[in-house]
Each structure stands twice: as C-alpha cells, then as structure tokens.
Amino acid sequence: MIADLFENNLRWAAARNRADPEYFRRLAGQQSPEYLWIGCSDSRVPANEIVGLDPGELFVHRNVANLAPAQDANFLSVLQFAVEVLKVRHVIVCGHYGCGGVRAALSEKRHGLIDHWLSPVRTLSWRCEHELATISDPEARVNDLCERNVIEQVRNIAANPFVRDAWRRKQPLEVHGWIYSIQDGLLRDLDVSVGRLERARALAASDRFHRRQGRRP
C-alpha cells in the first residue's frame, strides 16, 4: 500500500510537468500565499482542492475540530509566520458539518487524550446548552455546534495579539468563518468576517448567534 503512494506521486509529478514544465521551478522559488487556512484534520476536507488553489497559494494549518487556541504553540507559530512573514491578507477558519471532534465534545463518553484538546468545544457547548437543547435532531445539534465553534475560533483569532498588531500597523488582514458540507462539497460563509479592531471588539462582546436560514445541508 505504501508503494502505491510513491507510484501515485510519480504519476502526479509527471502530469504536472507535462501540463506546465516550469511549475516546480516556480514553486521552489518562493512561497507567497494570500490565505491562511485553519481547518479540521478530517481527511475528507482537502483544503486546496475545495477552493481550487494550487500548492503555494494556500498556507494550511489543520487540527481536530479546527481550533485556534491561544495556548497552542504550534498554532501560534503558524499564525505569526503567516501574518508577519508571509503577510497573508486573509485568515480563513473552516469547519465542516458532522465534525467528529465536535460530536465527541458533545458526548458524555471518554475518548482519552483528545478530551483535553476538545475542552474549548465542550465549554462552548455548555455556554449555549439552552439553545442546543431546543434542537431535537441530534445531527442538527452537532451541526449547530460546528457553526458556533467556527465563530468562536474567529473571535479567538480576532483577539490574538499578532492579528491585532497587524491591524494597528494598518496591514490588510481579514479573518473569515466558513463551513463546509461533505454531503454536497460546498462552502458556506457564516458572515462573521472581521478586518479591523472595532469590528473585532464588537464580535468579542457579542454572544449573539445569527442563524442563516437554508444554509445547512
């Protein structure tokens, strides 16, 4: 099975060279993406493919449940490098419906080490437990929390010192919250984009969750 991956790689590289003989030379020259993608580790959500971008056009960080925790050195290193060195213009938090991490955070079962990582999602579910309790369908409840989790991560990033310093420098930078449906392959904008300090403060102060009728799968 591992050998198949190398065979696939050979075919892919050959196809790229046939289509564009200068492709790899250009790619090796520099990395200048305009986007940082913070997504879920789920293998069904391939970041570059679903937005139609080539390698080198999207700087990607992925983890379980697409979190942006202020205590995670890995995430913070990626964010700082993207904002201060690559000078990306857009940070995109992209969750997906039916997220296994969000589902695990909602359950009462123990899952081991991942329970510690998912504690921010669990805390979020407690904060909005009354709203979630009004949703009778378990899958719809998971999807509702998937959306809320994306919005929470946008808030976290908008409050991050690296991002706020960029805004103070008048550096063009926007943070967006999107969600992806594996069922139809489409992205949904959750309408929480923020590109300046004033909007970030308003988003941080608000616990309001704006429902977007007809956008869920």
Task: For residues 113 and 27, give the distance between their C-alpha atoms in angstroms, rounded to a whole number.
Answer: 38
What are the E-state strand segments in 31-104?
35-40, 58-63, 90-96
Name the nearest CA neighbour of 189 among 94, 104, 114.
94
| Given 61, 94, 99, 155, the catalytic residue | 99
94 part of the active site? no
| Given 26, 44, 196, 212, the catalytic residue | 44
44 part of the active site? yes
Share of the chain residues as helix, strand and coil, in percent rounded to the nearest 5: 50, 15, 40
| Given 42, 90, 103, 141, the catalytic residue | 42
Tokens of 29: 């020259």
46-52: long-range contacts (C-beta < 8 A, 24 or more apart)? 47/94, 50/180, 50/185, 50/187, 51/187
96 part of the active site? yes
| Given 90, 96, 148, 155, the catalytic residue | 96
> Which active-site residues does the annotation give?
40, 42, 44, 96, 99
